[in-house]
Chain A
Amino acid sequence: MKHYSIGYFLGQGFKGIWRNGVMSVASIAVLMSCLVVLGGFSLLVYNIDVNLEEFGLLNEIVVFVDRDASEEEIAAVGEKIASLDNVAAVRRTTRAEALEEMKHQSEEYAHLYDDITPEENPLSDSFTVTYKDNDDVITLAYLLGQIEGVRKVVNRLDLAVKISSFKRGVQLVFSWFLVILFVVSLFVIINTIKLSVFSRRGEISIMRYVGATGWFITLPFLIEGVVIGLFSSAAAFFVEKFFYRYIEAIVASDLQMISVVHFDAVQTIVFWSFLGVGVLAGIVGSSISLGKYLEA
């Protein structure tokens, strides 16, 4: 290809978009929706992961020590816990700290705790055990229960399993949604490009007679597909940003226990992912509709 043709190809690509106004807008709208849904689901899954990590739901077990255990006995329990396989970290919470935490959690009734002397404190010392491997957690929970001086072992495995299966469900729905939307987007792009080819069929036949190569004929249409992809990506990015910020604000005011990742932290990857998927859809869509035109 010679350098003086580049302007021609770009010009023709943009003219094609303009010429098929309605279909081009439809293509951009559908592909944009696909990208927004893709981004929405991805960000949802990412936020679930972040929250799970923050709550430590997936890799923590709390071990309560007998109420009447002496300081030495408690320390011995701590050492035994630390010596077990699959234990990443052990953090002790004394019964006094636990009482303070309780007061803090129910501030309105804090005065009710004021009369409780250290001797009357009904709570017991506990160890928060962080483990390494999720698969061996049942064994670890059993071994912790067998340690002398341990009263109770609490794990939040049930909740973790529920959240994990919710996450898997979201991912499954998301995958199917994505496949369907991507196929729909491709069909709309294919039709747009076909319409563009149809409206220029006279021009194409003349191009052939004067000796234009297959690439010369098809490149403007490929560019048209890429431009559709670019516009869709840019539009999807701003729509996603708007909706995400809106939801972020609602969550921040009404659901404070859930933490939401700031859009600024993920916008680079969202932008490049949208651009990649959008342009790819444009190229694939136009290539499918142009296959036979590459032949002389």
Chain B
Amino acid sequence: MIEFRNVKKVYPNGTVALGGVNLRVEDGEFVFVVGHSGAGKTTLMKLLLREEKLTSGRLMVNDYDLTKLSRFRVPFYRRELGVVFQDFRLFPNKTVFENVAFAMQVVGTPPRMIRRRVPAILNTVNLADKQKNFPNELSGGEQQRVALARALANNPKIILADEPTGNIDPQMSLEIMNLLVKINRLGKTVIVVTHEQSLVDYYQQRVVTLSEGRITEDRVGGMFE
């Protein structure tokens, strides 16, 4: 469960990025966060990733109270999340298998378990036959699927996707979104930050609209306004 209670974020230069956000996302929900540039979407993601600390209010993610989280516990909190970015952020010098394995290695997973789990995850994202390829040998959509596999590697409860279809063509975008929906059906909470109206309208999920740092609309089965 994710809960924002009157969360405010003011940057040191005085910019009010979030001006009192109240939002509750239950376990297993699928939520689109939409809004124009500067609406506060990126700040919302940064707060969830604990890249930034909130200025006031309260933010709870599962059992973690991000308001009080010490910096030593941040890495352990982040293991509850799987993150996907617009620019994929894959290692060009690692194979598909190694890119996914890396996320597991980082948290100290034994090699034996890595060897067993990575092919299974790659199978989930339909990349079982590409595990020896390097990212530059893959299409944009395939690279994003590798990023998605990496996000799933440590079996997180929440998947955060920041503009996951921003760098890929419409056909591939649908593929990625279908995968995110599939992952959601497996019981994971999925939050997708996007400004792609057609996708949001097509999937008819819960849509939270941000404008000037505030939630202006929160509708299930909503459309992009």
Contacts and interface: CB of A to CB of B under 8 A. Distances in A.
A210 B103 contact: yes
A198 interface: no
Contacts of B76: 211
Given A210-B103, A212-B106, A216-B106, A202 B78 contact: no
Interface residues of A, number: 20
Q: From A1, A2, A296, name the one whose CB has the most chain B CB atoms within 10 angstroms.
A: A296
A4 B108 contact: yes
Interface string A206-244: 111111111010000000000000000000000000000
A214 B89 contact: no
Contacts, number: 57
B75 interface: yes
Interface string A93-106: 00000000000000
B50 A296 contact: yes
B144 to A, nearest CB: 15
A216 B78 CA distance: 14
Interface string B44-55: 000001100000
A165 interface: no
A296 B74 contact: yes
B110 interface: yes
B91 A211 contact: no
Interface string A190-208: 0000000000001101111
A214 B70 CA distance: 13
A147 B74 CA distance: 85
Given A4-B108, A216-B106, A211 B79 contact: yes
Nearest to B107: A211
A296 B107 contact: no
Contacts of A211: 75-79, 106-107, 154
A272 interface: no
Interface residues of B, number: 25
Q: From A1, A211, A212, name the one whose CB has the most chain B CB atoms within 10 angstroms.
A: A211
Interface in B57-83: 71-72, 74-79, 81, 83
B111 interface: yes
Nearest to A1: B108
Nearest to B50: A296
A203 B154 contact: no
A210 B91 contact: no
A166 interface: no
Contacts of A295: 71
B65 to A, nearest CB: 16
B155 to A, nearest CB: 12
Interface in A2-16: 2, 4-5, 8
Contacts of A205: 89
A210 B153 contact: yes
Interface of A: 1-2, 4-5, 8, 202-203, 205-214, 216, 295-296
